[in-house]
């Protein structure tokens, strides 16, 4: 249904998209280390993989970003060895190509990861890729991760509700919200039919406190909630009991 409306209103959507691209505040990726060790207990190798949100856009340093929040939570229970592979603008296909490149292969060969948290989909929704082609790319990404870490617990992050993001005008927001919902439907189908991965139950709030200054990326408070949710999910999945932070 939303595709038909988009065909009718594509000139307006195009104008709004160009306006957003020209006027949205562009924030840098968070500064700081992209790998580290800490904690005590059973060893755990963690890979955080993805886009600008995974890279910490919206906060100043990695300790306030997803990598810092998640690693601090997990380090309470594990001897943690973590790595972050993320960049602004990354799509599922570009991330897959990176993992298959020389540098990506080096990262994947450096450790057999126990937990992989994936943050991809927003830039795919913003691109012309079809939802079915995106699903194929997601499956290929999971296959590649398992090639190097066959025992990994892969956690997929749902696409956020772009339709209510402050950065988008109402019509464009509606279209992107519908498209994001369609992508999430496919992601749920993938996770329910593939025992190698699961979909994180994550619904971050969308308000001034939860959003960065650009009206698009998470704030430090949202990164904290995201990290807590991912850590709690992993601990529950591997130990059979939920943990609170």
Q: Which residue is listed with tokens 């993805």?
A: 50
What does DSSP say about strands 35-38 and 78-86: parallel, antiparallel, or unpaired?
A: antiparallel
pLDDT tens per residue, range 76-102: 999 999 999 999 999 999 999 999 998
How are beta strands 35-38 and 197-199 bridged, if at all? Answer: unpaired
Residue 108: name the closest of 155, 47, 158 by CA.
47
pLDDT of residue 105: 86
* Distances in whole angstroms, Cα of residue 91 to Cα of each of 96, 138, 142, 174: 8, 10, 14, 21
Q: Which residues of the chain have pLDDT under 50?
A: 240-245
The end-to-end CA distance of the chain, in Å, is 42
pLDDT in the model for residue 2? 67
Environment class of 216 (CB within 10 Å of its CB; exposed 0-12, middle 13-18, buried 19+): buried
Q: Render pLDDT for 7-33 as a digit per residue (tens, 0 to 9).
A: 777 787 778 878 888 888 899 999 999
Provide the pLDDT for residue 18: 84
Topology of the domain comprising 28-238 = Rossmann fold (3.40.50)
Neighbours of 160 (CB within 10 A): 24
pTM: 0.92
Task: Report how far residue 114's alpha carbon sits from residue 109's, in angstroms, rounded to the nearest whole number.
Answer: 13
């Amino acid at each position: 249904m939303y595709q038909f409306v988009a065909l009718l209103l594509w000139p307006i959507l195009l104008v709004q998209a160009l306006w957003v691209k020209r006027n949205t505040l562009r924030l840098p990726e968070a500064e700081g280390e992209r790998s580290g060790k800490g904690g005590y207990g059973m060893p755990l190798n963690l890979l955080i993989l993805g886009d600008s949100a995974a890279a910490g856009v919206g906060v100043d340093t990695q300790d306030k970003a997803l990598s810092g929040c998640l690693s601090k939570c997990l380090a309470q229970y594990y001897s943690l060895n973590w790595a972050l592979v993320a960049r602004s603008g990354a799509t599922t296909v570009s991330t897959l190509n990176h993992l298959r490149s020389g540098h990506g292969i080096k990262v994947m060969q450096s450790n057999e990861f126990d937990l992989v948290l994936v943050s991809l989909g927003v830039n795919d929704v913003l691109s012309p890729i079809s939802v079915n082609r995106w699903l194929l790319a997601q499956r290929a990404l999971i296959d590649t991760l398992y090639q190097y870490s066959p025992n990994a617990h892969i956690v997929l992050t749902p696409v956020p509700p772009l339709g209510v993001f402050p950065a988008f005008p109402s019509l464009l927001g509606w279209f992107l919200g519908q498209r994001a919902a369609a992508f999430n439907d496919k992601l749920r189908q993938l996770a329910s039919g593939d025992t190698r991965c699961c979909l994180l139950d994550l619904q971050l709030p969308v308000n001034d406190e939860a959003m960065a200054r650009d009206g698009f990326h998470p704030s430090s408070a949202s990164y904290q909630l995201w990290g807590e949710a991912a850590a709690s999910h992993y601990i529950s999945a591997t130990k059979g009991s939920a943990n609170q932070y």
